[in-house]
Amino acid sequence: MDLLIKDAIIIAPETAHHHKKVSVRIVNGNIAEINENIAAEGMEILTLPDLHISSGWMDSSVSLGEPGFEERETLSNGLDTAAKSGFTHIALQPNTQPVVDNQTLVSFVKNKAFDKATTLLPIGAFSKQQQGEDLAEMYDMKNAGAIAFGDYKKSIANANLLKIGLQYTQDFDATVIAYCNDASIKGKGVVHEGEVSTRLGLKGIPTLAEEVVLARNLFLLEYTGGKLHIPTISSAKSVSLIREAKNKGLQVSCSVAVHQLVLTDEVLEEFDTRYKVNPPIRNEFHRQALIEGVLDGTIDCITSDHQPLDIEHKKMEFDLAKDGTIGLESAFGTLLTVLPLDVVIEKLTAAKKIFLNTPEDLFEINKPACITLFTPHGESIFTKENIYSKSKNSAFLNQKMKGKVYGIINNGILNLK
């Protein structure tokens, strides 16, 4: 690839180029020059309206379906969707059939993505078959390319298993992902427990279901040491618990889903199952606490928590519909409606530091070009025409969005919309 990105504003807070308009020359997939004026002779030139660029974004929680649920999404189309949505890296959840709980399946999903612009990073299951009874083959999966280990949307009920897992993974410097939800407290709840659930007659899920497990997991981390990532927190108390743990010096990180930052349970008035997610969309009090957690650094990264579901599992009675929304395509545009641009970029790149131990801003000469291209300006309404996923279960249909993603440069490939 010999390409000149012409007249782009760089958003990279840790570099001298931050908020400056420059041109970037890419030769053989590597950054060769960054300057205000670069001769374009003999090179392909890329110019786009109001072009901004940043270090490539990473989504820390993406489900695709393949193997086993190809009717929901394939790896090939899912990776193309991620690229068109601005993500150079996605962490793939193990909730497939069969479950990604061994090195063979880790190798399988990685090999399916070898020629794509977006880099696929498998998350291996924490327990065999995600059943919470026996540890999966984590060391072998790490050697095959797994970046972390967790059971998707399944809380580790057995405290001793989590304790052993945190101790064991320290031997090979791995991160454990521990979703927090007490099934006995959640019961048959389907939405946030509060005024809206009472008015609509829907069974509620109290924030306590998340917080009591989170508190236990943080106690275990303090006892064992190791690295723990808490995905998709949703309550004010969860933010304060993680803030306290970080102040103690524990190696804990966390994420929040885009829909938790943008939506509130008021959207449930029409009983639309697109808004049925896990954890549930909560009220304005918790949304504001999550925003504060993002702004003060307690929440490390933001995820789309992309989960494609076919219409047979989503367009049905609210109590019976499966939890989940797609979110790759809408992540950037919806986040800009509630957060400043620099914060959005920081939180969309931070997962690389957590899971790959690489800097959040990587614009260095002779380094591989890993770049997201976008504009933060302009407004639009998100419609089905903006969805590239096979599944269409988006919680953001008809929502106002700001900005636009143009595509990515990664792995020596330019992928534009």
Distance CA 279, CA 287 (A): 13
Distance CA 32, CA 45 (A): 15
Q: Which of 59, 151, 300, 305 is catalytic?
A: 305
Question: Quick one: how far is CA 104 from the chain centroid?
Answer: 24
Distance CA 351, CA 378 (A): 27
Specify the 3-state DSSP secondary structure of 135: strand
Distance CA 87, CA 107 (A): 21
User: What are the structure tokens assigned to 23, written together?
Assistant: 């041109």
**Amino acid in the structure at residue 71:** E
Question: Quick one: how far is CA 345 from the chain centroid?
Answer: 13
Of 233, 328, 319, 334, the residue nearest 273 (C-alpha)? 319
User: What are the structure tokens assigned to 265, written together?
Assistant: 């349970």
The CA radius of gyration of the chain, in Å to the nearest whole number, is 21
Q: Is 272 a catalytic residue?
A: no
Of 163, 194, 193, the residue nearest 176 (C-alpha)? 163
The DSSP bridge pattern shows strands 371-381 and 400-410 to be: antiparallel
Q: Residue 410: CB partners within 8 Å, gap ≥ 6?
A: 56, 83, 88, 89, 117, 118, 119, 368, 369, 370, 371
Which CATH fold topology does 56-355 show?
Answer: TIM Barrel (3.20.20)
Specify the 3-state DSSP secondary structure of 368: strand
> Is 153 within 8 Å of 278 (Cβ atoms)?
yes
Q: Which CATH number fits domain 2-52+366-389+400-416: 3.40.109.10, 1.10.10.10, 2.30.40.10, 1.25.40.10?
A: 2.30.40.10
Q: How do the pLDDT tens digits run along the chain, 417 residues long?
A: 789 999 999 999 888 889 999 999 999 999 999 998 888 778 899 999 999 999 999 999 999 999 999 999 999 999 999 999 999 999 999 999 999 999 999 999 999 998 999 999 999 999 999 999 999 999 999 999 999 999 999 999 999 999 999 999 999 999 999 999 999 999 999 999 999 999 999 999 999 999 999 999 999 999 999 999 999 999 999 999 999 999 999 999 999 999 999 999 999 999 999 999 999 999 999 999 999 999 999 999 999 999 999 999 999 999 999 999 999 999 999 999 999 999 999 999 999 999 998 866 678 899 999 999 999 999 999 999 999 999 999 999 999 999 999 999 999 999 999
So where are the chain's domains? Answer: 2-52+366-389+400-416, 56-355
Phi-psi region of 301 (alpha: psi -120 to 50; beta: other; left: phi over 0): beta
> Is 332 within 8 Å of 405 (Cβ atoms)?
yes
User: What are the structure tokens assigned to 159, written together?
Assistant: 């405290």
> Is 79 within 8 Å of 38 (Cβ atoms)?
no
